[in-house]
């Protein structure tokens, strides 16, 4: 049960409806058009959300009654990864089921290859879904009025989720309340928060002599267990970190903790907006016939390894929440701890629930059987790309290998024994077979890619074994 | 004749930069001038380009450099040139710097453009940048004056100024490169104004500290605050129009007065009051969102809402409403909800708050339907801020709680709320608020028309 509203509300929205919409409302949903066989789809996307930021999933420092609703109603994956921990590439994968090397979006501000259908185009074309999109797009424009396959509901505010997400949730809620119900919908609510932590870092980078709000002293969360980092990591990562706000300004421990506290407040702001959309969904009676997908494009440093921001391959940046719910079809309050999934799996899974084949050449896995509680192939590994195709991560249930082009140091972590990625095992003699096996996985994967034209360093990765 | 015209042009341009420099305080240091160009270090990965020194047009005139880039490179840094200063020579944090140079394209194609990415940064890790700017130019000599201000002390390790050329195949010339440090002798905003440099084009510099009346003034969010009328009474009838300012954390880049919040307090015969609010926000792509609300509130410490109605409307850039995205709602607190306040209700309430009387912990109803529990409002005392030559004093309250970043309220000596700031946005009682919003709206609408025209042309092709 989420936090009850301490007020009553009555909507006079019928006054706003046109004739066709009114007829649809009076007739109610068409059983032939919508239902468990062809559920609606609500795709809730946040931006830059660290995986450990949901109260019901174990985070003790946030109040997230609405994400808690999703956790309790659905099945979540703990070993869930972004395909490329920066905005545009990750989004291109979620919306096409393909890795960013294939979508052509190997860095921010690039468009998806035009011949590659996105979620909206595919569901509208193959499933006659009514597809709508609100909020951040970033493929290539951050916000836009035109997205292939989707009706764009609103554009929100560029670079400001703290204020702009409210317009996204309001547009989504109004859409749900006033749509005609003649066919199933696919609504993408793409929120910008907690990405505004980037603005927060610019506004709060200078070293503080004391906390700006003394009342917070007893409320600040602790530093993460893996706050310290291995100085012998790849130079590319060290260089980035040394320039971050905390290290460049010699933050005190309290200031790091204040940053983490502030990040959690950012998460709470988007939680409230999600609640507005979920209330509209349930208030309109769509709750039992809607597949809800919740995820984020990438994570946030949050002080792990003394990192801020994203665009590297430690878990804090590349691991993301992923929750699916559909009452009666997907287990409530279920959790997969070790199955390895990625953002590419979202589109084929949605297609499976919609009764559609996935688009050709999709590389993500359909998780429907897994979500129904049955064993299913896949989940043995995933690959992530990073930094303009300069880096790769191979993740299995047990290990993670990180390698960068032009970097002599690679990293191997035993994720069961060392989930905080603090001990690099790459040079351990006993791990040679593991490293070889992970490199082979990567090599096989790379050689089979249908890389987009112009992807940098393509030959380098294809030659890796 | 051509040579003569060239000389004339060079003379004018040289005068232009000298003219600019004449309007500035003398620089504290010159790290690079045209006489030092002999130290240029050219680099080209995989033979992607070449560079050569051209003879000076006349004695004393600056040397020019000609660069030929054979192909666009994976990384623009793969071809380029630059200088480093020795350790111990460089700017300190917050120094104001000028990078100035002239460039032209000399490709065989008359319409050929040149482009360079200019980077100024610490020469060793962490390589914090003070400037990253791409400059595009045609076949005529063009001077670029780029402002930079480092966010870290860079003197100890020295700095790197580099021109990256791998953005495109091109043949270009560059000359008269200068790198000057004015220290802190001039305010950043005044410096940009003196250079006639658009903050959109140069000098992205983080603010580094949380929004407050002083920083907002430095960010040019406002020039003056509205004078409080002589008959103003916090518990009487009043109206206030706040500019809604938002930023992305830079001092002068991407900041905008993108909205208006108009509040009116109307006392009722029963001792309660009516709060009327209209908020207009210009969204991306010139869409407009308007919230109109009326709330009956008790005249108590939290301005406890008794009932409210509100509407939410989206409009296309040309003003047409999008009817199926509209909402009209009415609401009231349920019994037993505990202390409750509205977000805009607190704008009213803080003006009547007794600093000596602590407020109860309450639930905030934000936007009339989002509940954010465990809110506190705390009195911080008097604060003074330098606004250029003036000093302004405020009383400050802070709001802390779940679901939002801390909110600070600054009131003038008469108890009128002047500024509210939370994270990256602020509400400012600015006498220019409506004019600024109108100007911003018109700019956004015109920009959107240009975008639509380009998109249409692309579709037609």
Q: Which residue of A has its CA nearest to B154?
A: A248
Q: Which residues 76-95 of B have a C-beta within 8 angstroms of A?
A: none
Q: Is B206 on the interface with A (CB under 8 A)?
A: yes
Say whether residue B376 is in contact with chain A using an 8 A CB cutoff: yes
Average pLDDT, consecutive stretches of 10 residues, N- to C-terminus, chain A (465 residues): 51 34 33 70 98 98 98 98 98 98 96 97 98 96 92 87 97 97 96 98 95 95 96 87 89 98 98 98 97 98 97 97 97 97 98 98 97 91 95 98 93 98 97 96 94 92 77
Task: Kindly indicate the confidence band of residue B229, based on its pLDDT and cuts at 50, 70 and 90.
Answer: very high
Find, in chain A, the residue whose alpha carbon is nearest to that of B407.
A213
Q: Is B124 on the interface with A (CB under 8 A)?
A: no
Q: Which of B287, B369, B404 sits opposite A269 (nearest CB)?
A: B404
A241 contacts on B by Cβ (under 8 Å): 126
Of A3, A145, A160, the CB nearest to B371: A3
Higher pLDDT, A340 or B123: A340
Q: Which residues does chain B have within 8 Å of residue A157's beta carbon, measured at their own beta carbons?
A: 246, 258, 281, 283-284
Q: What is the pLDDT of residue A25?
A: 31
Cβ of residue B318 closer than 8 Å to a chain A Cβ: no
Query: Which residues of chain B does A173 touch, with a Cβ-Cβ cutoff of 8 Å?
Result: 327
Minimal-distance CA residue of chain B relative to A4: B371
Q: What ipTM was assigned to the predicted interfaces of this complex?
A: 0.93
Provide the residue count of chain A: 465
- Chain A interface mutation, best of B325, B373, B404, B426, highest count of A Cβ atoms under 10 Å: B325
Q: Is B11 a residue whose pLDDT tops 60?
A: no
Q: Between A158, A242, A272, which is nearest B403 by CB?
A: A272
Closest residue of chain B to A457, computed from CA coordinates: B74
Q: Tens of pLDDT along B344-363?
A: 999 999 999 999 988 899 99
Give contacts of A262 with chain B, Cβ < 8 Å. Answer: 405
Nearest-by-CA chain B residue for A241: B126
Residues B240-271 have pLDDT tens digits of 999 999 999 998 888 999 999 999 999 999 99
Kindly indicate the confidence band of residue B276, based on its pLDDT and cuts at 50, 70 and 90: very high
- Which of A357-366, B148-157, B389-398 has the lowest average pLDDT? B148-157
Q: Residue B209 and residue A242: Cβ atoms within 8 Å? A: no
Mutate to test the interface with B, among A243, A277, A279 (most CBs of B within 10 A): A243
Residue B60, pLDDT above cutoff 80: no
What's the average model confidence in pLDDT over B70-86?
89
Task: Give the B window 17-76 contacts with A, CB below 8 Å.
Answer: 74
Name chain B contacts of A12, Cβ cutoff 8 Å.
328-330
> d(Cα A306, Cα A256) in Å, to the nearest integer?
9
CA dihedral B231, B235, B241, B245 (to 10 degrees): 120
H, E, C per residue of chain A: CCCCCCEEEEECHHHHCCHHHHHHHHHCCCCCCCECCECEEEEEEECCCCCCCCHHHCCCCCCCHHHHHHHHHCEEECCEECCCCCHHHHHHHHHHCCCHHHHCCCCCCCCCCCCCCCHHHHHHHHHCCEEEEEECCCCCCCCCCCECCEEEEECCCCCCHHHHHHHHHHHHHHHHHHCCCCCCEEEEEECCCCCCHHHHHHHCCCCCCCCCCHHHHHCCCCCCCCCCCCCCCCHHHHHHHHCCHHHHCCCCHHHHHHHHHHHHHHHHHHHHHHHHHHHHHHHCCCHHHEEEEEEECCCCCCCHHHCCCCCCCCHHHHECCEEEECCCCCCCCEEECCCCEEHHHHHHHHHHHCCCCCCCCCCCCCCHHHHCCCCCCCCCCEEEEECCCCEEEEECCCEEEEEECCCCCCEEEECCCCCCCCCCCCCCHHHHHHHHHHHHHHHHHHHCCCCCCCCCCHHHHHCCC
Rounded to the nearest integer, the mean pLDDT of chain B is: 89
Size of interface A-B (CB pairs under 8 A): 214
- CB distance from B424 to chain A under 8 Å? yes
- Find the residue in A nearest to B250 (Cα): A202
Mean pLDDT calculated for residue range B291-309:
97
Q: Regarding predicted confidence, which is higher, B201 or B250?
A: B250
CB contact under 8 A, A162 and B152: no
Top mean-pLDDT range of B52-56, B198-202, B394-398: B394-398
Q: In which band, very low, low, confident or very high, does the pLDDT at B203 lie, cut at 50, 70 and 90?
A: low
């Amino acid at each position: 049960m989420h936090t009850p509203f301490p007020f009553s509300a009555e909507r006079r929205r019928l006054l706003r409806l046109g004739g066709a919409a009114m007829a649809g409302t009076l007739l109610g949903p068409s059983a032939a058009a919508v239902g468990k066989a062809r559920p609606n789809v609500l795709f809730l996307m946040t931006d830059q959300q660290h995986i450990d930021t949901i109260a019901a999933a174990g985070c003790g420092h946030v109040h997230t009654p609405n994400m808690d609703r999703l956790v309790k109603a659905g099945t979540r994956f703990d070993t869930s990864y972004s395909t490329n921990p920066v905005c545009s590439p990750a989004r291109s994968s979620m919306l096409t089921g393909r890795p960013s090397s294939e979508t052509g979006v190997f860095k921010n501000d690039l468009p998806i290859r035009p011949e590659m259908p996105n979620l909206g185009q595919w569901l509208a074309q193959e499933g006659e879904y009514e597809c709508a999109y609100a909020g951040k797009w970033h493929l290539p424009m951050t916000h836009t009025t035109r997205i292939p396959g989707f009706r764009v509901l609103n554009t929100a505010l560029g670079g400001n989720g703290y204020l702009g997400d409210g317009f996204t949730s309001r547009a989504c809620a109004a859409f749900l309340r006033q749509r005609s119900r003649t066919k199933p919908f696919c609504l993408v609510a793409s929120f910008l928060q907690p990405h505004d932590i980037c603005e927060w870092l610019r506004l709060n980078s200078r070293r503080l002599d004391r906390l700006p709000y003394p009342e917070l002293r007893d409320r600040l969360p602790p530093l993460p267990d893996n706050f310290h980092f291995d100085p012998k990591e790849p130079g590319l990562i060290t260089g980035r970190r040394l320039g971050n706000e905390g290290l460049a300004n010699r933050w005190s421990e309290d200031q790091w903790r204040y940053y983490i506290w502030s990040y959690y407040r950012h998460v709470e702001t988007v939680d409230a907006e999600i609640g507005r959309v979920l209330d509209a969904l349930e208030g309109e009676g769509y709750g039992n016939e809607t597949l809800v997908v919740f995820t984020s494009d990438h994570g946030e440093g949050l002080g792990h390894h003394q990192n801020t921001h994203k665009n590297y391959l430690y878990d804090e940046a590349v691991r993301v929440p992923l929750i699916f719910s559909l009452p009666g079809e997907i287990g409530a309050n279920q959790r997969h701890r070790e199955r390895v999934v990625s953002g590419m799996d979202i589109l084929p899974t949605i297609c499976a629930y919609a009764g559609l084949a996935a688009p050709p050449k999709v590389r993500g896995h359909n998780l429907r059987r897994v979500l129904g509680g049955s064993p299913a192939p896949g989940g043995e590994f995933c690959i992530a790309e990073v930094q303009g195709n300069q880096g790769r991560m191979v993740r299995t249930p047990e290990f993670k290998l990180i390698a960068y082009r032009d970097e002599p140091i690679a990293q191997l972590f035993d994720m069961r024994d060392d989930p905080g990625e603090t001990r690099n095992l790459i040079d351990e003699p006993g791990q040679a077979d593991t490293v070889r096996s992970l490199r082979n996985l990567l090599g096989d994967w790379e050689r089979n890619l249908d890389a987009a034209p112009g992807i940098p360093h393509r030959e380098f990765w294809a030659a890796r074994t | 004749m051509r040579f003569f015209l060239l000389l004339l042009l060079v003379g004018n341009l040289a005068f232009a930069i000298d003219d600019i420099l004449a309007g500035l305080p003398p620089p504290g240091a010159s790290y690079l001038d045209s006489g030092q160009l002999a130290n240029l270090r050219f680099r080209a990965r995989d033979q992607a380009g070449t560079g050569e020194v051209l003879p000076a047009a006349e004695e004393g005139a600056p040397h020019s450099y000609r660069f030929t880039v054979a192909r666009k490179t994976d990384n623009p840094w793969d071809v380029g040139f630059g200088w480093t200063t020795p350790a111990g020579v460089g700017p300190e944090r917050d120094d104001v710097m000028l990078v100035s140079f002239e460039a032209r394209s000399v490709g065989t194609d008359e319409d050929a453009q040149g482009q360079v990415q200019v980077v100024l940064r610490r020469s060793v890790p962490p390589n914090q940048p003070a400037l990253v700017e791409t400059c595009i130019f045609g076949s005529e000599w063009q001077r670029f004056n780029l402002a930079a201000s480092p966010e870290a002390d860079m003197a100890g390790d020295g700095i790197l100024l580099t021109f990256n050329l791998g953005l495109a195949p091109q043949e270009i010339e560059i000359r008269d490169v200068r790198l000057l440090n004015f220290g802190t002798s001039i305010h950043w905003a005044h410096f940009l104004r003196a250079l006639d440099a658009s903050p959109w084009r140069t000098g992205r510099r983080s603010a580094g500290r949380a929004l407050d009346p002083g920083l907002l003034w430095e960010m040019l969010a406002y020039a003056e605050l509205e004078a409080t009328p002589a008959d103003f009474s916090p518990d009487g009838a009043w109206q206030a129009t706040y500019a809604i300012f938002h930023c992305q954390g830079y001092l002068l880049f991407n900041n905008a007065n993108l909205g208006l919040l108009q509040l009116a307090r109307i006392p009722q015969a029963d001792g309660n009051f009516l709060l009327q609010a209209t908020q207009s926000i210009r969204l991306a792509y010139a869409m407009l969102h308007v919230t109109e609300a009326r709330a009956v509130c008790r005249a108590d410490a939290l301005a406890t809402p008794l009932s409210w109605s509100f509407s939410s409307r989206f409009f296309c850039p040309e003003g047409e409403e999008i009817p199926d995205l509209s909402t009209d709602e009415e609401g009231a607190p349920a019994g037993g909800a505990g202390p409750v306040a509205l977000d805009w209700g607190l704008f009213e309430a803080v003006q009547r708050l007794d600093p000596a009387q602590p407020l109860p912990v309450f639930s905030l109803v934000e936007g009339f339907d989002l509940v954010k529990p465990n809110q506190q409002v705390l009195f911080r005392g008097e604060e003074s801020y330098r606004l250029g030559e003036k000093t302004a004093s405020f009383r400050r309250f802070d709001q802390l709680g779940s679901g939002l970043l801390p909110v600070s309220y600054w009131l003038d000596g008469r108890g009128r709320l002047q500024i509210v700031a939370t994270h990256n946005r602020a509400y400012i009682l600015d006498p220019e608020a409506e004019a600024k919003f109108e100007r911003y709206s018109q700019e956004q609408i015109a920009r959107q028309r240009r975008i639509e025209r380009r998109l249409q042309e692309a579709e037609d092709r």
